[in-house]
Structure 1
Amino acid sequence: MNVIVCVKRVPDTEARIRVDESGRAIEKAGIKYDMSPYDAFAVEAALRHKETLGAGEITLLTFGDSSAQETLRKGLAMGADKAVLLTGEVSLDGLATAKVIAEELRGADASLMLFGVKAADDDQSQVGPMVAVLLDRPCVAGVSTFEVQGETAVCHREVEGGTEVVEVDLPAILCMTKGPTEPRLAALKGIMAAKRKPLEERAATDSPSRVRLTALEEPPARSAGRIVGEGADAVPELVRLLREEANAL
């Protein structure tokens, strides 16, 4: 059973982000990039699925510029078999991105197509479900683990107070969230092997964006705390501030 995992290159979640002079983009100098965290969980889920079956091929797919090769090589070092980079300008328009990916996946020999439930940079949770609609494939989002039983995928979703179990016919699209196992770190052997694995790069189909980013703003600086007193004598003033200024009571 073949699996395709769609991944995205995003700024490292621990990076200090600054808005550039244009006010419409981040300052890229000195920023470290990495695979979006939920995409890494999707790769890990695909690898575990392949290990369980003892067969199948895992293909990584991303859309972006040539710098995204680094992200694909990371996934190959984890254990994926090959990768495809669709080169083009990624926009904020989730539908435009979904059309590019859907066109690439149309007719692909894969029973499962995995996405991260959302990207760490735009936090929109759009592309996976949109690709499912464009390809007329069933989709389950927020999946933590899954097992394949014949022509069905049994998906587990963590919900408030318990676990939801959903069955979906294959081929299907699953949008993965954090699972019980952290994404594996690539060993030196895997890193060396990744350099020899196929990585195809080709131009993406044209898909104009109809969403435009007009401004980025950094959050306002937090005001300094205030000491209102000590011991029991400070309680009345603290209660007043919580009620009248913080509206917390």
Structure 2
Amino acid sequence: MEILVCVKRVPDTEENEIVINSAGNDIERDDLVYSVNEWDNYAVEEAIQIVDKVGGSVTVVTVGDDESEEVLRREMAMGAEKGILVSDDAFEGADGKGIATALKGVVEKEKYDLILTGAQADDGAAQVGGMLAAMLDLPYASLVNKIEVMDGKLKVGREIEGGNQEMSEIEMPCVLSIQTGINEPRYVGIRGIRKVASVEIPTFSASDLGVSAAAPALKKVDYFVPEMGEGAEMLEGSVEEMAEKLVELLKAKGGLK
């Protein structure tokens, strides 16, 4: 099975203090520490596990500048066989549709049985996977937290509202957006990173892919930090005492009658 996993280089929220810029339309990006998007790690791990079971290969692709190559090498050290970098000024500042357009060009250059994305990336829009599937006219499922390989199709589990699980069968080729928790991404050591440090990663421009990025239809106009509300009231005592106090508070605030 040939699997393509779309990954992204994003600010590491554990290593950075995120601050809004003076214009209020983005975060301050100078001196930020970057890493691979968390959801994408789960997608790559799932792809590797599938290939370990049924055979094939895993390719990772990202859209970004030269520095984005580091996330490709990180995922290759994890176990992906190949990496592809899409880098072009035409995609700078691209919205979800622009990124999906670039990825569509990559998919159409090769033949893939399965395309995976993370459920969402740093802007939280969760739209690239669905847009890519629509552009390719392929079946799509989001928030996938279980995959079983069948003959020519997949059985997938999706996380839906209320903590419920939805099971579906989907024909391949298809696009799936992977939810965290589907697996436990493996540790990437220094030895693995060194092993792929000199591997050549092809870079494609928009013209190489035969695509063009339209001006973003989505414009971010305002970032802000929500105002802090009143502090939480911490209950103390035994479990029984805290439960009793909680019931009293709920009754006092109209939560219970």
Q: Shorter chain as normaliser: what TM range?
A: 0.7 to 0.9
Q: How does 1:205-224 map to 2 (within 5 A)?
A: 205-207=211-213, 208-222=215-229
CA distance in 2, matches of 1:104, 1:219: 39
Question: Structure 1's 90 and 145: CA in aligned 2 closer, same or farther, altered over 3 A?
Answer: farther
Residue 26 of structure 2 corresponds to which residue in structure 1?
Answer: 25
Q: Does 1:99 align with 2:101?
A: yes
- Decide whether the 8 Å contact of 1:18 with 1:218 is kept in 2: no
- Decide whether the 8 Å contact of 2:42 with 2:182 is kept in 1: no
Q: CA deviation at 1:102?
A: 1.1
Residue 240 of structure 2 corresponds to which residue in structure 1?
Answer: none
Q: Which amino acid aligns with 2:212?
A: D
CA distance in 2, matches of 1:165, 1:147: 10
CA distance in 2, matches of 1:50, 1:152: 15
CA distance in 2, matches of 1:44, 1:225: 38
Q: CA deviation at 1:75?
A: 0.5
Q: CA deviation at 1:108?
A: 2.2
- The alignment partner of 1:10 has SS state of strand
User: Could you tell me the TM-score, scaled by structure 1's length?
Assistant: 0.84
Q: How does 1:86-235 map to 2 (within 5 A)?
A: 86-88=86-88, 89-91=91-93, 93-119=95-121, 121-159=122-160, 160-204=162-206, 205-207=211-213, 208-222=215-229
Q: CA deviation at 1:222?
A: 4.8
Q: CA deviation at 1:225?
A: 7.4
Q: CA deviation at 1:107?
A: 4.7
Q: Which amino acid aligns with 1:140?
A: A
Unaligned runs of 5+ in 1: 228-234
Number of matched pairs? 234
Q: CA deviation at 1:90?
A: 4.2
- Decide whether the 8 Å contact of 1:156 with 1:165 is kept in 2: yes
User: Could you tell me the TM-score, scaled by structure 2's length?
Assistant: 0.82
Q: CA deviation at 1:20?
A: 1.5
Percent of aligned positions with the same letter in both sequences?
Answer: 30
Q: CA deviation at 1:190?
A: 1.4
Unaligned runs of 5+ in 2: 235-244
CA distance in 2, matches of 1:180, 1:114: 13
- Decide whether the 8 Å contact of 1:146 with 1:156 is kept in 2: yes
Deviations 1:46-66 (A, max 9, x none): 01011112x311111111111
Deviations 1:56-82 (A, max 9, x none): 111111111111111111101101111
Alignment root-mean-square deviation, CA:
2.5
Q: Does 1:61 align with 2:61?
A: yes
Residue 231 of structure 1 corresponds to which residue in structure 2?
Answer: none
CA distance in 2, matches of 1:248, 1:163: 29
